[in-house]
Amino acid sequence: MSVKNLNKRAIAPVAIIVVVAILLLGTIVTLVIIKTAQQKTAECFTDSDCKKVQTTCCPCESGGSEICVPHGQENIYRPSNCPKDPLCIAMYNCKIEKCICKEGTCNAIVKE
């Protein structure tokens, strides 16, 4: 066997290993990028990341409404121009039992 044939046989496995390593590294980088993008778009990761917020001047015990929002964004959904003593109706309108995080989104579990 000549030296040229020996070198060609030795290079082939190394080339295959290099190609496989590059493909594996590319796959890992792609998965990390996708995971990072998903984390940036998710508004929650656990149920404790979601909060129940009153969205009207009246509480839900007096006809107002409420929703589940990501923690830290409560003030975006709270009314900001309510009078000191709002005129509310005597109607119990509390429908949300608790807030949960489902697939990166805050959702309400409605009372039965």
Instruction: Please tell me whether residues 19 and 53 are part of one structural domain.
Output: no
- The predicted structure's pLDDT at residue 8: 61
State the number of CA atoms in the 13 A half-sphere of 39 facing the CB.
Answer: 6
pLDDT of residue 50: 96
Instruction: Report the alpha-carbon distance of residue 22 to residue 11 in Å, rounded.
Output: 16
d(CA 35, CA 109): 27
Both 55 and 34 in a single domain? no
Q: Do residues 21 and 55 share a domain?
A: no
57 and 103 both lie in a single domain:
yes
- pLDDT tens sequence for the chain (112 residues): 555 555 666 676 777 787 888 888 878 877 777 766 655 678 899 999 999 999 999 999 999 999 999 999 999 999 989 999 999 999 999 999 999 999 999 999 998 8
Query: What local confidence, expressed as pLDDT, does residue 91 receive?
Result: 93
For residue 10, the model assigns a pLDDT of 67
Torsion of CA 95, 100, 67, 50, to 10 degrees: 140
Q: How many separate domains does the chain show?
A: 2
Give me the residue label for tokens 């009246």.
58
Co-location of 60 and 97 in the same domain: yes
* Same domain membership, residue 68 and residue 94: yes
The pTM assigned to this predicted structure is: 0.60
Shared domain check, 53 and 17: no
Is residue 57 located within the same domain as residue 37?
no
Asked if 60 and 88 count as a contact pair (C-beta separation under 8 A), the reply is: no
Q: CA-to-CA distance for 83 and 39, rounded, in angstroms?
A: 39
Q: Which domain holds residue 51?
A: 47-110
Q: Both 36 and 51 in a single domain?
A: no
Same domain, 7 and 33: yes
Considering the domain architecture, whether residues 55 and 76 belong to the same structural domain is answered as yes
Map residue 58 onto helix, strand or coil.
Answer: coil
